[in-house]
Amino acid sequence: MEPDTDDASAAENRLIRPYMVTRGRTAASHLSVEMLVVAKRQDAGDLADEARRIFNACPKPVAIAELAARIDLPLGITRVLVADLVDSNYLKTFDTAASDDADIVRRILHALEK
């Protein structure tokens, strides 16, 4: 989130702030919708509310969009919270395929033609 000065943005930030726990390094906007995330530890510790729901929903790798849908949270909020949980070591992310990765496309083709 960029620091903003105009009123409208301030209002927006007030809405988002309750969800921002640490304002960490992992920018939410870098988390693509298909990116897989998984819990890095066993228990949710003292995580509260939505953060806890997110953590509990990914014992196995799951895409961020799927996570959002399964726990019924808007995508934007899910992203911000996931970014936070990554920074605080609760979750880790996996790589997404590069769009020029021919090997990945061949694997998909192979599966489709079966």
Partner 1 sequence: MSRPVSAKFVISGGFGAGKTTYVTSVSEIKPLRTEGEMTSKGIGVDDGTKVPGKTTTTVAMDFGRLTIDESLVVYLFGTPGQDRFGFMWDDLSEGALGAIVLVDTRRLDECYPALDYFEAKGIPFVMALNQFQGADEHDIEEVRYALNIDSAVPMIHCDARKTDSVRNVMVRLCHHVLSRISEQAAESKDSSGSDAEEVDSDDAVPQPAG
Residue 70 CB, nearest approach to partner 1 (Å) = 7
Instruction: Give backbone dihedrals phi and psi of 36, rounded to 5 degrees, phi first.
Output: -85, 140
Among 28, 35, 39, 83, binds partner 1 (CB under 8 A): 35
Using CB under 8 A as the binding rule, whether residue 1 contacts partner 1 is answered as no
Distance, in Å, from the CA atom of 79 to the CA atom of 65, rounded to the nearest integer, reads 9
Return the residue of 22, 27, 34, 45 that touches partner 1, per CB under 8 A.
34
Assess 33 for contact with partner 1 (CB under 8 A).
Answer: yes
Tokens of 47: 């995580």
> Which one of residues 12, 27, 45, 49 is an interface residue with partner 1 (CB under 8 A)?
12
Question: Binding of partner 1 at residue 76 (CB under 8 A)?
Answer: yes
Q: Which of 8, 14, 25, 42 binds partner 1 (CB under 8 A)?
A: 8
Do 29 and 83 touch, CB atoms closer than 8 A? no
**Which strands sit side by side in the sheet containing 91-93, from one edge to the other?**
62-63, 36-39, 91-93
Task: Report the distance separating Cα 35 and Cα 30, nearest Å.
Answer: 10
How far is it, in rounded angstroms, from Cα 33 to Cα 62? 10
The contact set with partner 1 (CB under 8 A) reads 8-9, 11-12, 32-36, 61, 63, 65-66, 68-70, 74-76, 78, 94-102, 104-109, 111-113
